[in-house]
């Protein structure tokens, strides 16, 4: 037990909240518990007990807000059973994208393990906010025929002194864990989103290939009949047989793709065993009818992205921990740049050490200089992160809009033209201007156009998933585009950080 | 057979591309009569000059003229036209005076003829008077005999129609393009003596062919062999009018071939004699009877016969592909291939699919939607069902009650009772026995 009694240099706030204490030694020791109780009541009210939800509420709220789906932490068997029942109910219907994400949030064991981080962090937080138990020690010394007995009431005094600071840091760490868990939820949801798109697209490709395999099979059989009737040479017949054989190989490859993408999806939702018999919808969701406009993407990214929030929290932590008094001016500059983001208070430390020192030789001038440098460093880090985040959001937005343009081009131009060509082939067939082999060859070309459309649609939804991720996981906030679907310059809303 | 002839007073009213031709420069020229109708016009009785018995241009007309100081003056305008090949199909062609082929020019042996040719085409042209004896500078080979007629310009040709007979006119400037586009016309020089080889009916037409892809309107001018519209006077059956005759009349048919292949022209029910070629009239001692005469590339033939047999007689080119409309030349033979099971598979991808061709190419009169502006491959219906022909096919209709000088279509022939082939009604035992060759003992197995 140390006897060092000098308080650490503190900011005015902290100083007000944590006055130095008298020594508990000797006679004064009896009065110490009372003083400490008063201190605890003053400083730590509300912080020293476990919350009802283990601190999960902000995570659940963020999941609901960004993903539109509830996240539930199964902290006991009853909840786990309820979740299992909900999961089984959800699995009875074809899994749309929202359901897949919902299943992930309820069922993914990796996520549940991540939720447990909250419990661990909260335990530290509560511990930091509780007064150390007082200690009673008894000492008996014998020497030179003398026996001394000393009885002492003691308490971990440094801990008491640093308790407000520690609680504050632990509170920040807890908030940080909450942010990390939220980010893990968002990332897992993105993985599921990607896996779902890939799996549905792969399944759709199989469907198309199955249909046209039927066509090439028909052509192959017809070529056999033609050869039997003496109308086709071995070469012509084998050419048609070969087309069928080739299509069968493509189908086999597509089926393998469908299997592995489906496995990937099941894994992202944490499904196994009986649960694997889930069904997927037959088609990817339609494209948005109108060309989306997301003018607020950059602001949304600055407000929601985990990296920007972490950098901002690091800045705030630096600001408050180092006790800078001239901070406000700089923060205002920042706020002007990120006016859409006024939320603060996320920490970034990964550990801490508090020391109390005696201001005997240095009355703090070096500390102030170092603190200012660290503060400026945090400001620059935040600005750098924000520039990168804005660029990322703009890039993802441009990619998503381009993907929409391509898929829409397939939908409104290429597919109708393909259909028109097929209609014209049929008219030619009617007039004996074309043969059934021309029709079947055209069916193969139509298949390739439809596969191109599926790829383009999947491309849009994958770009959309990446765009959401670049915005911090939520749905892009946008205004409805004007009635015309005319492409606009996707960079027109861009700006510097 | 109706004939509606419209002569427009002002040539520039009726034709396209008039901008390049100045009105004042045309003021002294004869009217460039024009026509926008593809039916057969009534023969044009000569209003002046030497008398003759006029010809009838199948699905065409004769160009009127004016007499000026004893010279017959005609005005041809070469120009883009839209020609109806048959009901349901129109082609973008080049022609003269509103039609392709252009109007027939009829003159009499010894006539002095002046021909104004106005070019309203987008490129230079010329006119060659195929088969005529004329001054070298009037022969119309651009570059060789004259400068080509630039667009917008009018040239004048003048010569004496020395030799009676059957002729053509067509360009000799970029002729591959211009003939593939239908720029051509018929020319008849009647004998000075109207009693020379007289006939009651004198039909004329040019054989021509086009490559017009299904669903399009303009010929592929670079095609050399794979034509899909085999036409007489740029018409395909059922767009070709019938040739009609009163029973017992002497009929002449003059044919000119401006395609790139020969055409064996075949008449049913009568024998004819070839009485004239490009070179002139054939002495009777040199004529021999035929039912088919081959008209080679660039040739003219005049055939004559007495229309003694009443009825509707087929008259056509004997190359079977030439009596078909557009057809797919790469379509494989489906004959003998059972498609029933396969058809249900195909119909799952192509819902409107219907198997065809297992027992033959005949559609049995079934009509199916086709590409726009495309004629059915086999078409035309007679009194006994589908005729299943197109292209170079029409009928010679001989009737005892047809009025003289009438060219009206008398309708389908009503055969007297018992003169039409009919199903055998008696028992098979009454049939003469059939003798079959014994089957070949050779190995004829087909591997599948
Ligand atoms: Cu022929």
Render pLDDT for A215-262 as a digit per residue (tens, 0 to 9). Answer: 899 999 999 999 999 999 999 999 999 999 999 999 999 999 999 999
User: Considering only CB atoms, which chain A residues are within 8 Å of B351?
Assistant: none
pLDDT at A322 over 90: no
pLDDT computed for residue A132 by the predictor: 72
Q: Which two tokens stand for residue B317?
A: 């080119």
CA distance B336 to chain A (A): 6
Mean pLDDT, residues A326-332: 35
User: Considering only CB atoms, which chain A residues are within 8 Å of B352?
Assistant: 426
User: Considering only CB atoms, which chain A residues are within 8 Å of B338?
Assistant: 225
Look at residue A291 and give its three-state secondary structure. coil
Task: State the alpha helices, DSSP H only, in B113-231.
Answer: 175-180
Q: Does B360 touch chain A (CB under 8 A)?
A: no
Task: Tell how far the Cα of B260 is from the centroid of ligand 1, in angstroms.
Answer: 10
Task: Tell how far the Cα of B186 is from the centroid of ligand 1, in angstroms.
Answer: 19
Task: Tell me the pTM.
Answer: 0.78
Query: Which of the two residues, B441 and B51, has the higher pLDDT score?
Result: B51
Q: Test A436 with B355 for CB contact under 8 angstroms.
A: yes
Interface test with A, best of B216, B226, B331 (most A CBs within 10 A): B331
Domains annotated on chain B, with CATH: 56-190 (2.60.40.420), 201-321 (2.60.40.420), 330-363 (no CATH)
Q: Does B371 touch chain A (CB under 8 A)?
A: yes
Q: Which residues of A touch B (CB under 8 A)?
A: 211-212, 214-215, 217-218, 221-222, 224-232, 236, 422, 424, 426-437, 439-440, 443
pLDDT computed for residue B70 by the predictor: 94
Query: Which of the two residues, B112 and A119, has the higher pLDDT score?
Result: B112
User: Considering only CB atoms, which chain A residues are within 8 Å of B341?
Assistant: 221
Q: Test A221 with B328 for CB contact under 8 angstroms.
A: no
pLDDT computed for residue A492 by the predictor: 38
Q: Does B338 touch chain A (CB under 8 A)?
A: yes
CA distance A271 to chain B (A): 36
**Closest to A435 measured CA to CA, from B225, B361, B338, B373:** B361
Q: Test B346 with A439 for CB contact under 8 angstroms.
A: yes
**Band of pLDDT at residue A140, cut at 50, 70 and 90:** confident
Instruction: Give the largest Cα separation in chain A, rounded.
Output: 130
Q: Which two tokens stand for residue A359?
A: 């201001």
Q: Test A431 with B339 for CB contact under 8 angstroms.
A: no
How far apart are alpha carbons A252 and A241 in whole angstroms?
17
Interface test with B, best of A218, A236, A420 (most B CBs within 10 A): A218
Q: How far is CA B218 from the centre of its chain?
A: 18
Q: Test A211 with B348 for CB contact under 8 angstroms.
A: yes
pLDDT computed for residue A120 by the predictor: 80
Task: Tell how far the Cα of A273 is from the centroid of ligand 1, in angstroms.
Answer: 75
pLDDT tens string B182-239: 999 999 999 999 999 999 999 999 999 999 999 999 999 999 999 999 999 999 999 9
Task: Tell how far the Cα of B322 is from the centroid of ligand 1, in angstroms.
Answer: 5
pLDDT at A24 over 80: no
Task: Tell how far the Cα of B99 is from the centroid of ligand 1, in angstroms.
Answer: 22
Look at residue A369 and give its three-state secondary structure. helix
Residue B126's alpha-carbon distances to A340, B62, B144, B179, B260, in angstroms, are 80, 20, 11, 12, 20
How far apart are alpha carbons B357 and B337 in whole angstroms?
8
Q: Which residues contact B399 (CB under 8 A, 6 or more apart)?
A: B244, B245, B246, B247, B310, B410, B413
In the predicted model, what is the mean pLDDT of chain A?
A: 78
Least confident of A166-180, A281-295, B270-284: A166-180
The percentage of chain A sitting over the pLDDT mark of 70, rounded to a whole number, equals 74
Nearest CB neighbour to B350, from listed A217, A433, A443: A443
B56-57 and B165-170: which strand pairing?
unpaired
Interface test with A, best of B88, B326, B340, B342 (most A CBs within 10 A): B342
Nearest CB neighbour to B328, from listed A218, A424, A433: A433
The percentage of chain A sitting over the pLDDT mark of 90, rounded to a whole number, equals 47
When mean pLDDT is compared over A2-16, A17-31, A275-289, the highest value belongs to A275-289
Q: Test A422 with B350 for CB contact under 8 angstroms.
A: yes
pLDDT at B359 over 90: no
Q: Which two tokens stand for residue B357?
A: 């061709």
Task: Tell how far the Cα of B360 is from the centroid of ligand 1, in angstroms.
Answer: 23
Closest CA in chain A for residue B445: A228
Nearest CB neighbour to A428, from listed B214, B338, B341: B214
**Band of pLDDT at residue A363, cut at 50, 70 and 90:** low
pLDDT computed for residue A368 by the predictor: 67
Mean pLDDT, residues B257-275: 97
**Closest to B182 measured CA to CA, from B130, B239, B221, B133:** B221
Q: Test A431 with B214 for CB contact under 8 angstroms.
A: yes
pLDDT tens string B296-308: 999 999 999 999 9
Look at residue A136 and give its three-state secondary structure. strand
User: Considering only CB atoms, which chain B residues are within 8 Å of A217?
Assistant: 345
User: Considering only CB atoms, which chain A residues are within 8 Å of B332?
Assistant: 226, 231-232, 236, 435, 437
pLDDT computed for residue A484 by the predictor: 41
**Band of pLDDT at residue B358, cut at 50, 70 and 90:** confident
Q: Does B373 touch chain A (CB under 8 A)?
A: no
Q: Test A435 with B215 for CB contact under 8 angstroms.
A: no
Contact A428, A438 (CB under 8 A): yes
Nearest CB neighbour to B448, from listed A217, A228, A430: A228
How far apart are alpha carbons A67 and A99 in whole angstroms?
11
How far apart are alpha carbons A244 and B73 in whole angstroms?
70
Contact B35, B61 (CB under 8 A): yes
Residue written as token pair 């009777």 = B284
Q: How many CB pairs under 8 A join A and B?
A: 111
pLDDT tens string A161-182: 677 777 777 788 888 888 889 9
**Band of pLDDT at residue B180, cut at 50, 70 and 90:** very high
DSSP string, A111-124: HHHHHHHHHHHHHH
Q: ipTM for the complex? A: 0.83
User: Considering only CB atoms, which chain B residues are within 8 Å of A231?
Assistant: 332-337
Q: Test A424 with B338 for CB contact under 8 angstroms.
A: no
Q: What element of type H or E holds A215?
A: helix A157-228
Closest CA in chain A for residue B370: A427
pLDDT computed for residue B412 by the predictor: 97
Contact B83, B43 (CB under 8 A): no
pLDDT tens string B53-80: 999 999 999 999 999 999 999 999 999 9
Q: Test A231 with B214 for CB contact under 8 angstroms.
A: no
How far apart are alpha carbons A64 and A66 in whole angstroms?
6
pLDDT computed for residue A372 by the predictor: 77
Paired with B382 in beta bridges are B385
Q: Test A432 with B338 for CB contact under 8 angstroms.
A: no
Look at residue B213 and give its three-state secondary structure. coil
User: Considering only CB atoms, which chain A residues are within 8 Å of B226?
Assistant: none
pLDDT computed for residue A16 by the predictor: 34
Closest CA in chain B for residue A220: B342
Closest CA in chain A for residue B328: A433
Beta strand extents in B211-320 (DSSP E only): 229-232, 243-246, 250-257, 263-267, 272-277, 280-281, 289-290, 292-295, 300-306, 311-317
pLDDT computed for residue A126 by the predictor: 81
Q: Test A434 with B448 for CB contact under 8 angstroms.
A: no
Q: Does B71 touch chain A (CB under 8 A)?
A: no
Q: Test B370 with A431 for CB contact under 8 angstroms.
A: yes
Nearest CB neighbour to A232, from listed B332, B353, B355: B332
pLDDT tens string B399-446: 999 999 999 999 999 999 999 999 988 887 878 877 666 655 544 444
pLDDT at A47 over 50: no
pLDDT computed for residue A46 by the predictor: 42
Q: For the packed helices A157-228 and A234-269, what is the interaxial angle rounded to 10 degrees?
A: 160
For A349-364, give one letter per residue: b (16+ CB within 10 A) or e.
eeeeeeebeeeeeeee
Residues with CB under 5 A from ligand 1 (ion): B 263, 317, 319, 322
Q: Which two tokens stand for residue A342?
A: 């006024």
């Amino acid at each position: 037990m140390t006897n060092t009694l000098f308080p650490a240099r503190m900011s005015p706030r902290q100083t007000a909240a944590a006055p130095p204490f008298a020594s508990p030694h000797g006679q004064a020791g009896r009065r110490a518990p009372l003083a400490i109780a008063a201190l605890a009541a003053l400083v730590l009210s509300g912080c020293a007990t476990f919350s009802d939800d283990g601190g999960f509420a902000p995570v659940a709220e963020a999941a609901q807000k960004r993903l539109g789906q509830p996240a539930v932490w199964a902290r006991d068997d009853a909840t786990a059973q309820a979740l299992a029942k909900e999961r089984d109910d959800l699995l009875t219907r074809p899994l749309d994208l929202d359901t897949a994400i919902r299943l992930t949030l309820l069922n993914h064991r990796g996520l549940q393990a991540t939720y447990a981080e909250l419990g661990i962090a909260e335990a530290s937080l509560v511990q930091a906010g509780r007064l150390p138990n007082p200690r009673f020690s008894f000492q008996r010394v014998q020497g030179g025929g003398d026996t001394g007995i000393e009885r002492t009431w003691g308490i971990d005094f440094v801990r008491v002194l640093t308790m407000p600071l520690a609680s504050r840091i632990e509170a920040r760490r807890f908030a940080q864990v909450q942010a990390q868990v939220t980010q893990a939820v968002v990332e897992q949801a993105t993985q599921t989103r990607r896996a779902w798109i890939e799996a549905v697209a792969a399944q759709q490709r199989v469907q198309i290939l199955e249909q046209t395999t039927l066509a090439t099979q028909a052509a192959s059989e017809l070529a056999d009949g033609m050869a039997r009737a003496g109308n086709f040479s071995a070469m012509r017949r084998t050419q048609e047989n070969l087309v069928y054989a080739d299509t069968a190989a493509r189908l086999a490859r597509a089926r393998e793709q469908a299997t592995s993408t489906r496995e990937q999806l099941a894994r992202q939702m944490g499904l196994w065993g009986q649960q694997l018999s889930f069904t997927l919808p037959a088609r990817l969701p339609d494209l948005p009818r109108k060309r989306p406009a997301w003018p607020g993407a950059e602001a949304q990214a600055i407000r929601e992205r985990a990296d920007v929030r972490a950098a901002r929290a690091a800045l705030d932590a630096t600001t408050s921990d180092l006790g800078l008094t001239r901070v406000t001016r700089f923060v205002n500059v920042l706020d002007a740049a990120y006016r859409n983001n006024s939320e603060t208070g996320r920490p970034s430390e990964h550990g801490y050490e508090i020391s109390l020192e005696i201001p005997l030789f240095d009355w703090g001038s070096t500390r102030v200089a170092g603190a200012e440098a660290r503060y400026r460093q945090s400001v620059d880090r935040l600005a750098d992160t924000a520039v990168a985040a804005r660029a990322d959001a703009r890039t993802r937005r441009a990619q998503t809009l381009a993907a929409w343009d391509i898929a829409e081009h397939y939908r409104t131009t290429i597919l109708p033209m393909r259909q028109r060509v097929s209609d014209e082939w049929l008219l030619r067939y009617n007039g004996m201007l074309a043969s059934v082999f021309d029709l079947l060859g055209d069916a193969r070309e139509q298949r390739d156009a439809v596969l191109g459309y599926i790829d383009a649609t999947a491309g849009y939804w994958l770009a959309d998933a990446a765009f959401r991720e670049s915005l911090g996981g939520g749905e892009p906030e946008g205004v409805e585009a004007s009635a015309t679907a005319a492409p606009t310059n996707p960079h027109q809303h861009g700006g510097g950080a | 057979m109706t004939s509606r002839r419209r002569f427009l007073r002002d040539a520039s009213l009726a034709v396209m591309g008039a901008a390049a031709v100045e009105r004042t420069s045309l003021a002294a020229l004869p009217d460039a009569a024009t026509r926008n109708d593809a039916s057969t016009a009534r023969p044009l009785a000569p209003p002046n000059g030497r008398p003759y018995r006029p010809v009838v241009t199948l699905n065409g007309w004769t160009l009127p003229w004016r007499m000026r100081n004893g010279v017959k003056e005609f005005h041809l305008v070469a120009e883009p036209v839209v020609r109806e090949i048959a009901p349901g199909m129109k082609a973008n062609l080049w022609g003269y005076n509103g039609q392709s082929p252009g109007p027939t020019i009829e003159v009499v042996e010894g006539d002095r003829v002046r021909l104004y040719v106005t070019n309203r085409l987008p490129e230079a042209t010329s006119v060659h008077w195929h088969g005529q004896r004329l001054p070298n500078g009037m022969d119309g080979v651009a570059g060789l005999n004259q400068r080509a007629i630039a667009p917008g310009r009018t040239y004048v040709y003048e010569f004496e129609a020395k030799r009676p007979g059957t002729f053509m006119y067509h360009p000799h400037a970029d002729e591959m393009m211009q003939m593939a586009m239908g720029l051509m016309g018929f020319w008849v020089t009647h004998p000075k003596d109207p009693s020379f080889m007289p006939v009651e009916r004198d039909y004329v037409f040019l054989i021509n062919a086009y490559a017009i892809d299904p669903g399009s309107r303009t010929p592929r001018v670079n095609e050399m062999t794979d034509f899909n519209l085999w036409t007489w006077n740029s018409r395909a059956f059922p767009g070709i009018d019938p040739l009609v005759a009163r029973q017992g009349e002497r009929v002449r048919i003059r044919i000119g071939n401006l395609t790139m292949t020969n055409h064996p022209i075949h008449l049913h029910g009568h024998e004819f004699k070839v009485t004239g070629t490009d070179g002139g009239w054939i002495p009777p001692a040199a004529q021999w009877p035929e039912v088919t005469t081959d008209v080679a590339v660039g040739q003219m033939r005049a055939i004559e016969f007495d229309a003694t047999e009443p009825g509707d007689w087929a008259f056509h080119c004997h190359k079977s592909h030439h009596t078909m409309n557009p057809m797919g030349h790469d379509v494989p033979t489906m004959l003998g291939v059972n498609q029933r099971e396969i058809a249900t598979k195909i119909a799952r991808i192509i819902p409107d699919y219907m198997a065809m061709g297992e027992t033959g190419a005949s559609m049995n009169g079934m009509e199916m939607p086709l590409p726009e502006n495309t004629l059915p491959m086999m078409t035309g219906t007679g009194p006994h069902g589908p005729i299943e022909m197109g292209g170079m096919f029409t009928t010679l209709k001989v009737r005892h009650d047809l009025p003289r000088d009438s060219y009206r279509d008398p309708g389908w022939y009503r055969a007297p009772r018992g003169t039409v082939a009919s199903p055998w009604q008696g028992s098979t035992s009454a049939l003469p026995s059939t003798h079959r060759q014994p089957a070949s003992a050779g190995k004829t197995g087909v591997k599948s």
